[in-house]
A and B are shown apart, each in its own frame.
Chain A
């Protein structure tokens, strides 16, 4: 009789790395499908090109480095989808392939592959494009006219349009607190933004689709609420206190009424529904490899992301606030891990009496 010997435990949980990655892919599907609706078939094509090239680069770089094939863990697929979802609908395909090359080969495989990259590959690649091709990375569009298959595939039916963030900044530049509150009609409505009727990166526009995916991830316990809650929470708080229409400014500008309080919360909600903050908070900042291990650390990480996003959006006048915020916090992650180490049950060794 030949018996197998291994160390305990002899039973394992069903969750595996591929099953986690599969869950993330499933969670990204609503946003991907919506992008096809909002920006036409070119958006879907972008996701496919990006995913395929990421898988291809992963396979090739492992092959060239004579290391084992890691396609089965599906992490390259997740990177590929996220990468495309972070791009404007008019981005030339060769740039997308270039970004995939940067994400997989430079950011991920040069550092040892899955688990060893110190920044999120998709975000790093996005920043790479923002710096290399700023004009392409700041062209935002909406679909116009009747649906035509080939136009849709080529993106010929896309017309440029201002993003909600840009609209808000323009409005802010032209007047005071009261000016923004009084001219809300010049901005897209909160409901339209929530559904996703706005210009922006193809995957970031529909808050509803993203929240459906996020709920799936939370329900499957793939992510914990720590990072999204602290990220979005600290961001809302900062906008409330120090935004264009700070809460004390709104409340002191007129006699108090409940609708006035609603006005004070207009800007934080607007800011949440614009830009990539929801996509970032639920799908990018929660990337296991580049976020802290403990819940305490994750809260710190989220708050850091919130503060940086706020600072970049309000004081830096550049696109990609969420990307830069998350990548900066990625770099801080080892230090956060060190300061938020858990205390062993029963106290530390040197505290023993």
Chain B
């Protein structure tokens, strides 16, 4: 079957999948972990432990009070040392629990395989397991699995594209746990009543096709029925794994700007997310560990590592073999969309799929030169925007221009900056532009409110009361 490349635009960064054949290594040698109490999109969790408490692997440390929040569990067994505020990787103050590990990794005795009878049970289980989107966005999975009424998905897409350079953690997940992935897919299809699923992967990982056809064939042998799961190859082009691009490539459905996949009847989950679901259904252990790719020119031994969530990045780099040169740039996430860190004593979070440690050669930041209007950014933008126009508008603080160029539709994939021969920071400019537009929208809303109020006062309908 020919590989699908459906969306327009996209770029071809060097794949650098240096670690794809290396089996994941389980790292447990951490003296302490620092578990951030805000690891998802939504309000933060509330700490439920205090210094001196003994916790097991899987013991709740952060309770989720808000419906959008997802609980957070301890990833080691040991003693809570501190509940304090730290600076998050993105620079915000955030509550964290510091736990000293006793290196025994005792699982909480209260944990047992989940018992699910209804759809609500299933959703509650997903939420209690602490599962968020493991592809990088950390969107709470129980919200995704529960779309608004009338928008039930008719197709489940499994995002196995892993289009970011360097990262191979999803690929290792697929190589090592195809059974749990298929389990997870079947559970979701069963409880959400979705008739069809497609696993979409990029054709630079040809083994994926064989892995899943084999796994699905085994099930036909076992159960006698063929599962409605399709494995489809996609052209390796960044950002093939971006949600909207993946949906379009696999189903030809376009998600309008500002809308979500369920608006076009699609549910998209990362392959690691469904794998955890399959794993959790078997033994009930909440999300306490994840696979993470460590790569970059400054590392001695790049590879994939199965690590407890909350392990400090500096400990992780040491445990994974250390560095061979002074790191110049450390990136949390992929080379195209990841965040460059300014300190490495923070703990890794659930959605963290890679840590890239760049040496002096890779960390070079090229100098900007004037835009030569070559149109490359326009040609590669998968969202059909004009990054150079947005850049000009942002730099001249022209909010109307930003709206004219649809700045809010940008998915920040970084293709424009990647392709720019003048090495302009287009994506950064666009992010700044979004801030400007949001500020302007707020200002307009406030102004409207004030005007309405003053109109009311002027018309005498609502005299200002002095008692207030």
Contact = CB atoms under 8 A, between A and B. Distances in A.
A11 B428 contact: no
Contacts, number: 172
Nearest to B8: A345
A10 B382 contact: no
For the residues of A in contact with B, the DSSP-based class is: loop
A16 B423 contact: yes
Interface in A55-91: 70, 73, 75
Nearest to B363: A4
B337 A349 contact: no
Nearest to A290: B373
A26 to B, nearest CB: 16
A347 B384 CA distance: 10
B342 A294 contact: no
A238 B244 CA distance: 43
- Decide if the interface of chain B is mainly helix, strand, loop or mixed: loop
B418 A288 contact: no
Nearest to B358: A10
B340 A4 contact: yes
Given A4-B328, A113-B370, A345-B244, A10 B335 contact: yes
A239 to B, nearest CB: 29
Contact of A20 (B326, B358, B421): B421
Nearest to B343: A3
Interface residues of B, number: 70
Interface stretch (A123-131, A166-174, A313-321, A336-344): A336-344
B259 interface: yes
B425 A347 contact: no
A219 interface: no
Contacts of A291: 373
A186 interface: no
Contacts of B342: 3, 5
A194 to B, nearest CB: 30
B374 interface: yes
Contact of A116 (B248, B340, B370, B417): B370
A351 B406 CA distance: 13
B374 A353 contact: no
Interface stretch (B21-29, B79-87, B250-258, B279-287): B250-258
B293 interface: no
A295 to B, nearest CB: 7
B165 A8 contact: no
B256 A353 contact: yes
A346 interface: yes
Interface string B34-66: 000000000000000000000000000000000
B373 A288 contact: yes
A145 interface: no
Task: Please give me the 8 A-B residue pairs with the lowest Cβ-Cβ distance, nearest first.
Answer: A9-B414, A7-B428, A115-B370, A346-B256, A293-B375, A9-B336, A288-B374, A342-B384
Interface of A: 1, 3-13, 15-17, 19-20, 70, 73, 75, 112-116, 288-295, 298, 341-349, 351-353
